[in-house]
Amino acid sequence: MNTWQRRVRLALAVFVAVFAAGLFFALRREPPKPEAVPIRRADPTAAIESRGGVSIQLKGNREQLKVESEETLVYANGARKLKGITVTVTGRAGRSFVLTGREGEVGADDSSVKVMGDVKLVVSDGLTVATGEAFYTETDGVVRAPGPVQFNRGRLSGSGVGMTHDKDTDVLELLDQVAAEIAPDDTGAGGTRIVAGTAALARKEGQLRFTRGVRLLRARRALESDAAVAYLSDDETRVKRIEMRGGSRVVGGGDTPGSLETMSARDMDLAYADEGETLERAILAGSAVVQITGETQMRGRRIAGEWMDIGLASDGATVTSLLGRENVRLDLPPEGDAPGRTIRASVLEARGAPATGITSAVFTGNVEFREGGTARNGPRVAHAGAMNLALKSNFGVLENARFTQGVRFEDGDLTASAREARYAVTTGQLGLSGNDDRTGRPPQVIDPKVTITGARIELVLDGRRVAAQGTVSSVLRSSATPAPPEGQPAQHLPALLRQGQPVFVTADGLAYDGAAGLAVYTGHGRLWQGDTTVTGDRLTLNDSTGDLTAVGSIRAQLMMYQTDEQTKARTPAVTRGTADSMTYTDETRRLVFARGPATQAHLAGSQGDLTADRIDAFLNKSGDEVDRLEADGSVTMKLPQSRAASGRHLVYTAVDGRYVMVGAPVEIQEQLDEGCRITTGTTLTFFKSTDRIVADGNQERRTQTKSGAKCSGPGFD
């Protein structure tokens, strides 16, 4: 080492030593003591006070609960008070919420937090809740707020009193006095206002649940129930479905004919279109009632039943389908002059198109149709297994009804039955067809005066007009002292029939006018009562006048009486007649048989066997005995004791058994043992009970006897 190097090192060593000694003495001097400042404590009872603070709970390596504050007070029991508190809770699937407030308290075990003053709950998906005080307990993961709260998320907002929020189920519950609103979207649709006792927003299920006096206002409708659940779209901006339970009712939206006006039931399910505004379907259960708007100045239709399924058009109002079950009832109110109608059944299925609304309805199971009815006039009532209704558009005026499966129709004292019936409501016409499935009986109409049966029957109820076809049969009833309903003529059967006994008539067809009391039977007509029978191609009976007419191939068998000239005793006797036509006029007790183009009139009875172009029989007052006979045109009379007379005109009087015949000439033949005796003249008078014959031919009498000869000619051929 060089000399200069040694000198430099020595100098450096001295400098360091001197500097160190100076520094040592300088540091040993005490600085002046500052003036003492007193410490302000936020809470004298607190064991520790600090500015700021963070407390974190971990589950595994995942943060579960973090509590932050601007100022912290720690107490001897482990409890903490925090100013400017922020609580962050992390739930499952990354969901979290933040609870903030002016101050808070943390339990000793760090498992519970109370937040007070301008409390706000913000959930990671955007839900915000504001309140004055809230509690969070980690053991159950629930935030609770006892006082008034306000909440919002997107278009959903509202208020209530009392709240819970469960971090695990992600359910927000409002405990009382709920008022909520879903704001309309950009198009102005989807707005909903809700009032309820409680509400729950179940995020995972996409549900809004309400209880206690629920009332929802949406799409011009008010919805009311004891409880309701609204199912939301995935973005919670639209209502897809609403379930209403207990005392459910929907009002409004029925401004046009055929639209849904009101609904009520124990429970309802309402389904909405994709935009969340338009009601598409409603299912009602338990004492369901639906009101459908009627035409202008007309009351609506009311439908009731235990269960209903209602479909609506794209306007959300027009009813296009309705299915009802159990104790179904449809009320159609009076319209103008038309009466009100009520229909009951087990099942109703009504359908229509969006443009027309309901236009048809099918009822099945114990159907009852009831129309009109006053204290004076009873209702028209029909019973059947099924009924189809045709209506004008929008559940409008009832046009016709078709009944099937054992139909029974009642109109006052009239009853109609068949397998099938078609009722033209506007004209009051009832068409019956088909044999009854249970009894096998063909269509039938019954009223106090007549029973009519036929393969097909058309009945006009007002006026009781009946048209029957196909093996028609009828039973006419009468009494000795008939008492017809008010406004109807008394029933009056022909006096030649027995009063108080039924009269039977069959034919191929029948036209019956009940108001006029006129029955016209056509085709193989046959009328009978006991041993009395009248047949013909056409029979006409007027039961208000007692007149009877028969036309075409007439055959009559009449039960008459004859009075013995000596003893005056009355004995029954059969009178038979044939003709082309027969007319009985009850007022005059006149019975007329007339010939046709090919056949003469013929009458055979106790008075003799009479043939002529026309025979008039005048009956006694009781109509059961001939008082007088008149015959005209080619008259032939066969009498007992092998006698026969022929002429142009004959008069018979029963009181003395006398026959008077005139002609040019009159001829009477008598078959005697010695031969045929012939008497001629212009007038012949002979008597039934004696052999006396008086011939007066202008003081001429010509008698000829042909010995050994047999009589021939009219009456002997």
End-to-end CA distance of the chain: 198
> For the chain, how many residues are written?
717
* CATH number, domain with residue 702: 2.60.450.10
State the pLDDT confidence band at 486, using cuts at 50, 70 and 90.
Answer: low
Rounded mean pLDDT, 374-398: 83
Which residues on adjacent β-strands are paired with residue 630?
A: 616, 651
Q: Is residue 583 part of a domain?
A: yes
Query: With contact defined as beta carbons under 8 Å apart, do 672 and 662 qualify?
Result: no
Element spanning 362, H or E: strand 357-371
Rg (CA), the chain: 55
Rounded mean pLDDT, 31-60: 67
The residue type of 559 is: M
Which residues on adjacent β-strands are paired with residue 433?
A: 420, 456
In this predicted structure, what is the pLDDT of residue 482?
Answer: 47
Q: Is residue 603 part of a domain?
A: yes
Q: Is residue 551 part of a domain?
A: yes
**Using one digit for the tens of pLDDT, what is the confidence trace for 334-360?**
877 778 889 999 999 999 999 988 999
Rounded mean pLDDT, 108-113: 77
Q: Is residue 571 part of a domain?
A: yes
Q: Is residue 616 part of a domain?
A: yes
Q: How far apart are CA 266 and CA 250, in angstroms?
A: 12
Q: Is residue 441 part of a domain?
A: no
Q: How far apart are CA 638 and CA 610, in angstroms?
A: 6
Q: Is 308 exposed, middle or buried (0-12, 13-18, 19+ CB in 10 A)?
A: buried
The residue type of 622 is: S
Q: Is residue 568 part of a domain?
A: yes
**Using one digit for the tens of pLDDT, what is the confidence trace for 190-219?**
788 899 999 998 878 888 899 999 999 887
Q: How many domains does the chain have?
A: 1
**Using one digit for the tens of pLDDT, what is the confidence trace for 555-584?**
999 988 887 777 778 888 899 999 999 999
**558 is in which domain, residue-wise?**
546-707
Q: Is residue 268 part of a domain?
A: no
Query: With contact defined as beta carbons under 8 Å apart, do 269 and 242 qualify?
Result: yes
Mean pLDDT, all residues of the chain: 85
**Using one digit for the tens of pLDDT, what is the confidence trace for 311-336?**
999 988 899 999 999 999 999 888 77
State the pLDDT confidence band at 100, using cuts at 50, 70 and 90.
Answer: very high
In this predicted structure, what is the pLDDT of residue 162?
Answer: 95
Residue with tokens 């004209």: 427
Write out the two tokens for 456.
């097909």
State the pLDDT confidence band at 59, using cuts at 50, 70 and 90.
Answer: low
